[in-house]
Amino acid sequence: MSRSPRAPFFLLSRMATKYDAIIIGTGQAGPALAVRLAQAGMMVAIIERKRFGGTCVNNGCIPTKTLIASARTAHVARRARDYGVTIPGPVAVDMEKVKARKDAVVRQSSEGLEKWLRDTKNLTVIEGHARFADTHQVRVGDKLLEADKIFINVGGRASVPSLRGIEQVSYLDNSTMMDVDFLPEHLIVIGGSYVGLEFAQMYRRFGSEVTVVEMGPRLVKREDEDISENIKTILEGEDINIRLNAECIGFEKRGDKLAVQVDCSSGDKTVIGSHLLLAVGRVPNTSDLGLEQAGIKVDQRGYIEVDDQLCTNVPGIYALGDCNGRGAFTHTAYNDYEIVAANLLNGDQRRVSDRITAYALYIDPPLGRAGMTEAEVRKSGRKALIGKRPMTQVGRARERSETDGFMKILVDAETKKILGASLLGIECDEVIHSILDVMYANAPYTVIQRAMHIHPTVTELIPTMLEELKPLE
Ligand SMILES: Cc1cc2nc3c(=O)[nH]c(=O)nc-3n(C[C@H](O)[C@H](O)[C@H](O)COP(=O)(O)OP(=O)(O)OC[C@H]3O[C@@H](n4cnc5c(N)ncnc54)[C@H](O)[C@@H]3O)c2cc1C
């Protein structure tokens, strides 16, 4: 029998290749950190088991916002007549081309990222599934890597709850939705929160019938009730069926269709659809990482426990991004990188608790959020002022004939500092930043109230809204 020139597996696996730092995962924190550390002269290895760029680039932010742009174009084209524009014939959506456009945008980001990593001096890219062997060693296939510093950036995936009959039907999640190049006849979306609502509106605009099934009494339950209510009105205005209080959800195959039992307080007890999308939350990718070999602590839901500077309980090991449960967004993951890099390389003691809550929900019009909700302000018991303005009173929205939504801001009555804002309306994912930056400056609301803003914009109405603050009853 001829012998392989390679060393036997048991010998290879004991010889660890030493690095100064190992990074597991190429999501939104890992690559930037890997490059920073390598540029600082450290020998770095970065490991990826699937596609470069992780969720945001391949199955999350970038593809969904690219698809939303196609869906919005179809929506605006259908409304062309409202603007005095005539399109001869009906508006049609070519789903193969929609997907091809999305794939091209994703490919550019993913391949660009991979090239950036591979071209960086002192940085080794390793493809495969990483598992801890002990506190300083990580195994990838037959390779053993060792470093004093290990950074975990493994992200998360769609959660699949054990709902009745789920094993009898096929379902889509945010990853498999990326392969869809046809128009589902009737898409049933389980979950009326951020991911579910984006897909629901997008597919309705592509031309599918869409039903959203939500267990709770309202959509996006983390938001204030008036925001949930307004979002429901916007979506129902586009003929999306919304079923709330679906406390007892079950699935059943019906020929080539599927039946979803929704024990709702109103409406039919069964919804028949052609395709099913599960959008009921995320779970961290931590169960197959060998964390127990390194003694790294996780909480009850599997999130890696970290302190305010993202250190785990094991010295030298850090967790960044969605897997630490301290954020669920690309910008929180990237901010984690900035915090770790500032602490390690600049002696700048940045902390997670320095950041202000900020995110957007990308239905159209979008919801831009910063700081506390009205419910949180009320719960805090402090004296506060509130300002509200419907988008019907915003010139830019009227000029565009897109007047859905409203803006709301909360201010501390004593310190005059802005506590939070919820802006639901055209371009509000951008507008929110004018408020966010004043919050970061820790300046009173009067700074923005006295600022001269450009006309005609949505942002020019923020000072006006602040002019009309009233006590929060
Ligand atoms: C549909 C959808 C839309 C979204 N839209 C937005 C948005 O508009 N804005 C926003 O801010 N956020 C959005 N998000 C959230 C955002 O995508 C995530 O918060 C972000 O990607 C988290 O980044 P991360 O670095 O923590 O991990 P990820 O991006 O998930 O990357 C983790 C990487 O680690 C790899 N990995 C995991 N385990 C191992 C292992 N054992 N060995 C080697 N590699 C491993 C994975 O393959 C993956 O590439 C969206 C999410 C979804 C699902």
pLDDT tens per residue across span 154-206:
999 999 999 989 999 999 999 999 999 999 999 999 999 999 999 999 999 99
Q: What percent of the chain has pLDDT over 70?
A: 96
User: In the prediction, which pLDDT does 298 show?
Assistant: 98
Residues contacting residue 271 through CB under 8 Å, at least 6 positions apart: 188, 211, 213, 241, 243, 259, 260, 262
User: In the prediction, which pLDDT does 5 show?
Assistant: 41
Residue 59 C-alpha to ligand 1 middle, in angstroms?
A: 8
Please name the residue whose Cα sits nearest to atom 9 of ligand 1: 61
Q: Which atom of ligand 1 is nearest to the CA of 55?
A: 29
User: In the prediction, which pLDDT does 1 show?
Assistant: 35
User: Could you tell me if 410 and 472 are in contact, meaning their C-beta atoms sit under 8 angstroms apart?
Assistant: yes
User: Could you tell me if 27 and 56 are in contact, meaning their C-beta atoms sit under 8 angstroms apart?
Assistant: yes
The CB density around residue 228, as the number of other CB atoms within 10 Å, is: 20
Just list the catalytic residues: 455
Q: What percent of the chain has pLDDT over 90?
A: 94
110 lines ligand 1 (CB under 6 A): no
Beta bridge partners of 389: 407
pLDDT tens per residue across span 325-359:
999 999 999 999 999 999 999 999 999 999 999 99
User: Could you tell me if 367 and 230 are in contact, meaning their C-beta atoms sit under 8 angstroms apart?
Assistant: no
22 lines ligand 1 (CB under 6 A): no
67 lines ligand 1 (CB under 6 A): no
Inform me whether the pLDDT recorded for 10 exceeds 60. Answer: no
Residue 156 C-alpha to ligand 1 middle, in angstroms?
A: 6
Under the banding of pLDDT at 50, 70 and 90, the label for residue 454 is very high
Angle between helices 194-206 and 61-78 (to 10 degrees): 40
Inform me whether the pLDDT recorded for 429 exceeds 90. Answer: yes
The total number of residues shown for the chain amounts to: 473
pLDDT tens per residue across span 223-243:
999 999 999 999 999 999 999
- Phi, psi for 314 (deg, rounded to 5): -100, 120
User: In which element (H, E) is residue 435 found?
Assistant: helix 428-440
pLDDT tens per residue across span 142-167:
999 999 999 999 999 999 999 989 99
Residue 438 C-alpha to ligand 1 middle, in angstroms?
A: 29
User: In the prediction, which pLDDT does 335 show?
Assistant: 98
Furthest-apart CA pair in the chain: how many Å? Answer: 87
Residue 60 C-alpha to ligand 1 middle, in angstroms?
A: 7
Tell me which of 64-73, 261-270, 283-292, 373-382 is least confident: 261-270
Return d(Cα 207, Cα 182) in angstroms, integer. Answer: 11
Alpha helices in 270-329 (DSSP H): 291-294
285 lines ligand 1 (CB under 6 A): yes
Average pLDDT over residues 95-101: 98
195 lines ligand 1 (CB under 6 A): yes
Residue 57 C-alpha to ligand 1 middle, in angstroms?
A: 8
Check whether the bond before 365 is cis (ω within 30° of 0): yes
25 lines ligand 1 (CB under 6 A): yes
Average pLDDT of the chain is: 95
190 lines ligand 1 (CB under 6 A): no
Give which of 121, 123, 103, 120 is closest to 51, Cα–Cα: 103
User: In the prediction, which pLDDT does 2 show?
Assistant: 36
Average pLDDT over residues 368-388: 98
- pTM equals 0.95
Distances (CA, A) of 218 to 202, 224, 231, 362: 20, 10, 10, 18
- Phi, psi for 6 (deg, rounded to 5): -75, 150
Distances (CA, A) of 48 to 175, 197, 333, 430: 17, 30, 16, 32
pLDDT tens per residue across span 68-84:
999 999 999 999 999 99
Please name the residue whose Cα sits nearest to atom 30 of ligand 1: 155
Return d(Cα 349, Cα 418) in angstroms, integer. Answer: 25
Give which of 138, 115, 118, 136 is closest to 128, Cα–Cα: 138
Under the banding of pLDDT at 50, 70 and 90, the label for residue 263 is confident
Please name the residue whose Cα sits nearest to atom 1 of ligand 1: 60
User: In the prediction, which pLDDT does 13 show?
Assistant: 54
User: In the prediction, which pLDDT does 295 show?
Assistant: 98
Inform me whether the pLDDT recorded for 3 exceeds 50. Answer: no
> Counting Cβ atoms within 10 Å, is residue 11 exposed (0-12), middle (13-18) or buried (19+)?
exposed
Probe target for ligand 1 pocket from 293, 330, 355, 432, with the most ligand atoms within 8 Å of CB: 330
Inform me whether the pLDDT recorded for 7 exceeds 50. Answer: no
User: In the prediction, which pLDDT does 264 show?
Assistant: 59
Could you tell me whether strands 44-48 and 21-24 are parallel, antiparallel, or unpaired per DSSP bridges? parallel
Inform me whether the pLDDT recorded for 268 exceeds 90. Answer: no
Inform me whether the pLDDT recorded for 11 exceeds 70. Answer: no
Average pLDDT over residues 101-107: 98
